[in-house]
Every structure is written in C-alpha cells, then in structure tokens.
Amino acid sequence: MSVHDHGFARVTGAIPVVRIADPKANAEATVESMRQGAAEGSLLVVFPEMGLCGYSIDDLVQQDAILDGCRDALKSIVDASAGLMPLVVVGLPLVVGDGLYNCAAVIRDGAVLGVVPKSYLANYREFYDKRYYSAARDAPQDTVRLFGSDVPFGADLLFDAEDVPGFCLHVEICEDGWVPIPPSVWASLAGATVLANLSGSPVTVGKESYRKLLSTSHSARCIAAHLYVAAGFGESTTDLAWDGDALITENGTLLTRSKQFEMGAQSISADIDLDRLRQERMRMTSVRDQVGDHAEDLKRLRRIGFSFGVQPGTDDVEVLRRAIARFPFVPSGTSDLDERCREVGNIQVQGLAARLRATGLEKVVIGVSGGLDSTLALLVAVDTFDRLDLPRTNILAYTMPGFATGGATLRRAHTLMDSLGVSGTELDIRPSCEQMLADLDHPYSRGEKVFDVTFENVQAGERTSHLFRLANHHGAIVLGTGDLSELALGWCTYGVGDQMSHYNVNGSVPKTLVRHLIRWMITSGEFSDETSAVLAEILADVISPELVPPGEDGAIQSTEDTVGPYELHDFFLYYLTRFGYRPSKVAYLARQAWGDLDRTPWDTEPLDDRNVYDAATIDKWLTVFCQRFMANQFKRTAMPNGPKIGSGGSLSPRGDWRSPSDASARAWLQELRGE
C-alpha cells in the first residue's frame, strides 16, 4: 500500500506569508513549510518566485543588504534541508558575474543541486523585470559559486531522480510559462516529467481561470505534471493584489488547487502518476517523432542526477492524495453531465445512422430482453430513426422468452416496446431450442435437469439465429446489444450468439456507463411516464442472462455472482487496457477507490453510498478478470463494427486493442501474486 511503490510521487506547492525585504523571516517560514512537506512524504516542495525577499520588492532588490540577506537565507534553508527527502525549489535574486538574475535554487539534502535563472523577463503593463534583471540567455557562465561549491547555473537543467523511475524535474519562472514556446516544452521533449513554475503573478479579474487553462493545457501538451505556485499574502499592495494561487495539474487534469486570497500560509499537495505519464509518452509516437526532429538541441540540456533515498516498501503512506474515480468510464462532474451523456448518445446515433445510409436499408431487427443492454440499444435505435425521419415501426423488436425468462422481465420488454411505439413481437424460442437439444442428445431432452453451458448457449444461439433470419426476411440489419464489459470478460456466446450482429452501438460502452446513461435518460424528461417507469424497474433488477431456471430457493441466475461485480471489472478494464498498468498497481488503485480507506478530502462520495471491497476480494476478482480477459480474445477478434465512445478506448481489433487470441495471462497473474 505504499504510494512510492506504485509509481506515484507526492509533490507540494507551498505559499508562506511573505515579509517584503526580510529574507531572514522568509527563510524561517520557508523552512517550516519545507519540513511540513517532508513530514507528509513529499518528494518535491516548490515555493513562489522571489519568495526569499518578495516579488514586489521593486528597486530594493538592487540593495546589497537585501542581496546578501537572500544568500544568507538560502544558506539557512540548505542547512535545514539536510536529512530531509524532498527536492526544495525556492526563489531569490542572485548576482552572477556582473548581472542580477531572478533565480530558482534547487536544493536537496543539504546541498544546492542547481540554480535556474528566469529566461523571459516581463516588461509590459505593471511588470518591470528588465529594470532589474538579466535574462538567462545573457549569462556569461554556466556555473555559480555558492557556499564553497560550483553549482550548475542555467535554464537548461534537468534534475533526474535515480531511485524514482520517471521523476525528472524542470524549473522555470513565471513569464517563462506564458510565452508561446516555454523552456519546459524543450525539457519535456528531453524527458522532464515534472514541470515547476515559480510565479510572482499578481491577480486581476479573470486571471484565475486563465491560469487554470494555461496549466492544464500545458501539462496536456507536454504529457507532464505541472506545478504552478504564485506569490500570496504579504506581497506589497501599493498598486497590485496577490491571491496565492497554486495548482497541480497532470496531463490535462487539475489534481488540486489552493484557496485564493488566504491570509495565512498554505500548501497543496497531490500524488502525480509517473507511470501514467510514461505510458502516455510511450504510446504517443508523434511526440517521439518530434524528439527526433530536435535531437541535437535536446542533447545540450544538462542532466543532474540525484537520489531521494526512497526505500521500497518502507514508507507508511497509504492514502493517495488524488481522486481515483470508482467509475472511470462514467462522467464524474455535474456541470457537464448532460453534455457528456448527450455526446455518448450522439456518437451511437451517428454510427447507426451512417451504417443504415451505407447499406441503403431503413429497418433494424433487435432482440429486447428487458435487461440493461438491449434497452440502451433500443433507445439509441429510437433516437436514430426519429432523427432520420423514419417511422419507429421500422424498428422490428423481438422479445424471445426461453426456459428461464421471468414474467417480470417479459412484461418489461413488452411495456418498453409498446410505450416507445416500435413494432414489438413475442417469439417463443423454446420449441426450436428443444429440437436442438434433442438433436444433440442433451440430457435435458431426456427429462434431466442439466443446465450446463450447452443448455445456455443453445438458447443464446437460437435467439441470434432467429434475429439474422428475420433481418434477411424483412430487409433489415441486426442491431447488436452486447456491451464492452461483456466483451472484456467473454460473457457472450461466440459466433451465432449474442457476440454477433450486423452493427453494435454498445460495443464500446461498459456496463457501468450503460447503467448511468439509462439513469440519466430517466431524468432527462425525454420519455413518457410509462417508459421512464419501466426504465427504473430495469435499472433496479439483478443483471441476469436468464438462461437457467431459478433455484429451489427462487433465486434467479446472477451474472455478477458468477463473474464478479461489473463495477470492479470496469475499473480493472480501464486501467489495464487504457494505461497498461501492472495488475498490482490496479489492485492498489482499486483499494484506494473501493476500499474502506478514509480518503477525505479527496473522496467526495460517502462510504454509505457505495459498495466496499477488501483487498482479498479485489485480488480475487482481478485474478478472474485477467484469466477471462486473455482467454476470450478470440471473441473480440471477430467482434462486429461499432463506434468508439470514450477515451477509455474500445476492444475492437480494428481500433484500440490488437492482441493475439492465444496469449497467456501468466505474466499478469505472476505480477499480481508477486512471483
């Protein structure tokens, strides 16, 4: 359960209360925040621009007393860092040669590893950086003498951790991040995964949203983590105001942000996912192409190696400081919920409409079971036909009761078809199934209660066979209903079974998203009260193929009792296929999301509103997932066409997932067991 053992790095943005022109007091506040970050397990603590004297010091920055005081303050911070784990980045003015530079000193365990000068000096509107400072490009030397040692000096420094794979830091200062091509762009191409920006940015109306846009988009473009830490309370308000804004973003996602306009010291921290960044960069071959285009320039960046001293399995940091979505395929916010759900529906509708136009056909055949998947596919068909100005009666819906179809399920199917105004028909498949079982000389045909896989698949096969022949007969296409989760687990009958159709609008929609979309449709007000009521019944029922008669206790066949909870399997599917994580890391993330850990304030959902799974249960079902996923690739290799829905991907062999059908799950299972 160690954060560091699973590819995460805790980073902190610290904003002490600054005292203008008082380096000693600022050093004391910096040391206090630094020690707090170290105690919380952070590997990096970043402070604001010019934090040792204040960014708004103006002409006082040229006073020798201030400059000497800043060097002394830096020395006290360096000494205090001895024995502490994190890299510490502090801002101060430094004289190098004949020039004065706005700098960031990178400190680790009692030493200065490097000093980064500001590259681009803001000199417009309220900014007068060129009045005081020289730019990094003007420096006549690439080292600076500090406390008896020559320290690397320049904007070309990369701080590369030797004992935390994937941690490579680049530092830039304020305006450097606002120019069209920030220095950190080149650093990221050279391998920097953590980009820190020390800022003295004052606040004006609208700047808060622009900073967020800047940081999130920069982290996405660079496929990196980005720490932005701006000056806060204590800066001079002679003509400006300061809000102490700090953000930590990762590959386009905001992980955490400080409270604006706090009048006391504050800090923010989050666990960045170095594995995610590494996986994304490895997959983005276009980025590698650009690295090759600039290879000679990138080689000139200087790498400074160091070690954090992290010992695997020795820390007791269990709870991640980042939100782990329990339903990674499902829209998480409320502000864009309608937009996202409508977008999913639009993709499905657009795909089906295009396929109908390409075939020249104006009818679809669909099997309606009264369950989740066929319900969603039917609703998509209705929306598609409405938009194409085709009559809903051209949707030929068949409910096909078998040996275990329940009365409630059958009623729901009829209610759904009738209330939507499609051509609904009941077609009893039991006679044809009995003939098939007799032809097979199956024990059931001799009166024995043998409900094996053959018994189940005969029913699934008969349903699909009827649908295809009906489509031939009526000049239609068969609309598939099976979802992404079933394809992942192989919970579908291969060939002439529910695995096959002419087109499948649900093929990249996981079960958890199917549930969510139907729940959203109920509240959208787009359907009649009768339709909405039956949709609510469908949501509340147990997920079941209804292929085996109820037991003596009356319990119906439950899919999740057999293969495991879909909410866990969808979680496993997302992280294994989208990011290629090791199974042990997936289990760790599942424990964070679904365990009984107290994750406040990162967890916004109360424990009472969800299931809780312990580590043993998570490992059990993850093992099942790995085994079933690998064993059933042959079904996905032959899956029908269907639109890709989300960034979580699909399992189409023509799209996101190409895998041999005879691959082994052994490597996954060995890694999960620690073998």
Band of pLDDT at residue 596, cut at 50, 70 and 90: confident
Average pLDDT over residues 106-117: 98
Q: Which of 70, 103, 174, 222 is catalytic?
A: 174
CATH of the domain at 556: 3.40.50.620
Q: Which residues are annotated as a binding site?
A: 124, 201, 207, 367-374, 457, 481, 486, 491-494, 635
Residue 312 has pLDDT above 70, yes or no: no
Residues 296 and 408 in one domain: no
Query: What was the pLDDT predicted at 334?
Result: 62
Is pTM beyond 0.85? Reply is yes
Average pLDDT over residues 189-217: 94
Report if residue 95 sits inside a domain: yes
Q: Report residue 78 as tokens.
A: 């360096």
**Which of 304, 320, 349 represents a domain boundary (last residue)?**
304
The one-character DSSP state at 153 is B
**Which of 304, 324, 355 represents a domain boundary (last residue)?**
304
CATH of the domain at 29: 3.60.110.10
Average pLDDT over residues 208-237: 95
Say if residues 199 and 210 touch (Cβ distance below 8 Å): no
Which residue type sits at 631?
Answer: A
Q: How far apart are CA 291 and CA 284, in angstroms?
A: 11
Query: What was the pLDDT predicted at 56?
Result: 94
Residues 286 and 348 in one domain: no
Ordered DSSP codes for 93-117: EEEETTEEEEEEEEEETTEEEEEEE
**Which of 304, 325, 343 represents a domain boundary (last residue)?**
304
Report if residue 329 sits inside a domain: no
Number of H helices, E strands in the chain: 21, 20
Band of pLDDT at residue 598, cut at 50, 70 and 90: low
Q: Which residues are annotated as a binding site for ATP?
A: 367-374, 481
Band of pLDDT at residue 552, cut at 50, 70 and 90: confident
Query: What was the pLDDT predicted at 496?
Result: 83
Residue 316 has pLDDT above 80, yes or no: no
The one-character DSSP state at 338 is H
Report if residue 312 sits inside a domain: no
Q: How far apart are CA 610 and CA 132, in angstroms?
A: 58
Residues 363 and 449 in one domain: yes
Q: How far apart are CA 257 and CA 254, in angstroms?
A: 8
| pLDDT tens, residue by residue, 637-660 | 999 999 999 877 799 999 889 999
341 is known as an active-site residue = no
Residues 229 and 357 in one domain: no
Report if residue 317 sits inside a domain: no
Query: What was the pLDDT predicted at 333?
Result: 66
Q: Which of 118, 363, 511, 585 is catalytic?
A: 118
What percent of the chain shows pLDDT beyond 90?
85
Report if residue 326 sits inside a domain: no
Residues 589 and 482 in one domain: yes
Domain count, the chain: 2
Residues 111 and 155 in one domain: yes
671 is known as an active-site residue = no
Average pLDDT over residues 224-232: 96
Q: Which of 49, 235, 280, 456 is catalytic?
A: 49
Q: Give the bridge partners for 229, in sequence order.
A: 198, 246
The separation between CA 132 and the C-alpha centre of its own chain, rounded to angstroms, equals 43
* Distance (Å) of CA 156 to CA 104, 153, 577: 13, 8, 36
Residues 360 and 258 in one domain: no
Name the packing angle between helices 566-573 and 583-594 (round to 10°).
Answer: 130
Ordered DSSP codes for 367-416: E--SSHHHHHHHHHHHHHHHHTT--GGGEEEEE---TT--HHHHHHHHHH
Residues 413 and 485 in one domain: yes
259 is known as an active-site residue = no
Report if residue 319 sits inside a domain: no
Query: What was the pLDDT predicted at 595?
Result: 87
Q: Report residue 470 as tokens.
A: 């009906």
The separation between CA 239 and the C-alpha centre of its own chain, rounded to angstroms, equals 42
Residues 268 and 379 in one domain: no
Say if residues 81 and 47 touch (Cβ distance below 8 Å): no
Q: Taking the CB of residue 280, how many other CB atoms lie within 10 A of it?
A: 18
| pLDDT tens, residue by residue, 333-379 | 666 778 889 999 999 999 999 999 999 999 999 999 999 999 999 99
Q: How far apart are CA 669 and CA 675, in angstroms?
A: 9
Residues 22 and 168 in one domain: yes
Query: What was the pLDDT predicted at 199?
Result: 95
Report if residue 477 sits inside a domain: yes
Q: How far apart are CA 220 and CA 213, in angstroms?
A: 11
Residues 577 and 664 in one domain: yes
Residues 254 and 354 in one domain: no
Q: Which domain holds residue 138?
A: 1-304
Report if residue 325 sits inside a domain: no
Q: Which residues are annotated as a binding site for L-glutamine?
A: 124, 201, 207
Q: How far apart are CA 188 and CA 31, in angstroms?
A: 29
Helix (H, G, I), strand (E, B) or coil at 159: strand
By the 10 Å C-beta count (0-12 exposed, 13-18 middle, 19+ buried), 20 is classed as middle
The separation between CA 438 and the C-alpha centre of its own chain, rounded to angstroms, equals 51
Helix (H, G, I), strand (E, B) or coil at 527: coil
Say if residues 302 and 154 touch (Cβ distance below 8 Å): yes
